[in-house]
Amino acid sequence: MDFRHQISSPDNLAALACDALVLVVVGEAVDASLDPALANALSDAIAQGDLALKAGKSLYLHRPAGVRAARVVFAAAGASTVKAFKAALMHGLNQVKGSGAKHVAVGLAGAGALSDAHAEAVVTAARECTYLYRHTKPSAPAASKIDKVTVLCAKADVKPVQQGLARGHAIAAGVNLAREWANRPGNHCTPTHLADVAKKLGKEYALKVEVLDRKACEKLGMGSFLSVAQASDEPLRFIVARYDGAPKSQAPVVLVGKGITFDTGGISLKPGAEMDEMKYDMGGAASVLGTLRAVAELKPKLNLVCIIPSCENMPGGNAVKPGDVVTSMSGQTIEILNTDAEGRLILCDALTYAERFKPAVVVDVATLTGACVIALGHHNSGLFTADDKIAEQMQAASAKGLDPCWRMPLDEEYDAGLKSNFADMANIGGRPGGAITAAMFLKRFTGKYPWAHLDIAGTAWKSGAAKGGTGRPVPLLTHFVLAQAA
């Protein structure tokens, strides 16, 4: 899909050559500067009760009089924020994505200039609306015909709009990569497949990619990671990818993504209902790969290391058992009270491995706990960090990326739940505050660098009729990484 800008003003929109014109209407009245043909059509629709200028409302007009575009959509934003603009735009694009329109022009019908954030929102909204999974579904509906989107802006707004389009293109491509691999079934997305994705990105963007096998992980002493993988016939993969955009002396940002390509729960077997959704348990890994792609395309002046421990969590005669004690790469021992709390067992060795890069900051990303879904639902990802500065940066990035997160507590009192009579710690701390005790477990392996944890169990995918990966939190992570360069 081609995205570009075009200098235009509200009073000449009716003459634009495009297949569909989507206008986001800001405010509670028709803007006086709007092209008369469009203003009359909009005013008449409001007067007749066909459109209310409230968020979530939109109106499609086919071949309106005096307008060159064959299709016009008015989408009410209800507010002047970028968030409201994107939501309205999504409604508008959904009206035309199934039509014959190939070229869609997008503009504002109301006061205010278009910023880089608006332009980014145009790209991410268009790519989100038109994404279609078909890897294992050849009978999927025909793809949208939209192949060109033009952002209409004033001459003074050209530079920020260009910047936003470039950033939006990179982020949207990263989101789609994350969605695609999260959507693929466990037999089409194995640890080996994830390693191949990283290798392909390495070739495309000249990245350094290293993939460790079981023997290499054994040599490093990754007993915790190995314990999770030991019952699966699929070989584990420990993926390390590096983007070097700054001198070697500059400490890198490190992203760690949970890559459980299928999670049965192991011996602590999950219920059968909705177990199919456990193919998404590599959502953290997918989002880290998507962020890597976005960063590699944007080429910021920083160093980025992406680490993905990947395996399946399966039951079997040689599976790790409740009560088993394993030794992590850090040397700390772990009593595994529940084999379904496996994400933290693979992440802890990856967090220890990250020490060798002497990182400026480490962020791990994981579909880690159902408890986080209960706490925050499906809107906010859970953010855990003891560092106020990192928390502020993450929340600022979430606001810019329209990819919200909410900071959760890490009080030392929660750590008591991880006590074990037979090891340095247990891998679970009971049901109360389950997302917090999971983060406290990870915190024990992060004493040598600044660290944050994102629990994306409620935000990485949708259930129900719209079942599928969301690609989150690629926007949040990308903005966070770019901010480190700034």
Q: Looking up tokens 């980014």, which residue turns up?
A: 120
334-356 in b/e form (b: 16+ CB < 10 A) is: bbbbebbbbbbbbbbbbbbbbbe
Please confirm, yes or no, whether 344 is among the known catalytic residues: yes
Candidates 167, 237, 344, 472; catalytic one: 344
Cα distance between residue 414 and residue 158, in whole Å: 51
Cα distance between residue 225 and residue 256, in whole Å: 14
Read out DSSP for 24-92?
EE-SSS--TTS-HHHHHHHHHHHHTTS--SSTT-EEEEES-TT-SSSEEEEEE-SSSSHHHHHHHHHHH
Question: HSE of 120 in the Cβ direction (CA atoms, 13 Å)?
Answer: 22
Evaluated on CA atoms 63, 66, 72, 74, the torsion sign reads negative
Q: Count the Cβ atoms, other than its own, within 10 Å of residue 7.
A: 12
Q: Measuring CA to CA, how many Å separate 189 from each of 94, 270, 383? A: 30, 20, 27
Evaluated on CA atoms 67, 55, 398, 393, the torsion sign reads positive
Cα distance between residue 439 and residue 167, in whole Å: 31
Cα distance between residue 67 and residue 430, in whole Å: 63
Candidates 57, 270, 448, 462; catalytic one: 270
Pairing state between β 259-263 and 253-257: unpaired
Cα distance between residue 183 and residue 162, in whole Å: 31
Please confirm, yes or no, whether 270 is among the known catalytic residues: yes
Active site residues: 270, 344
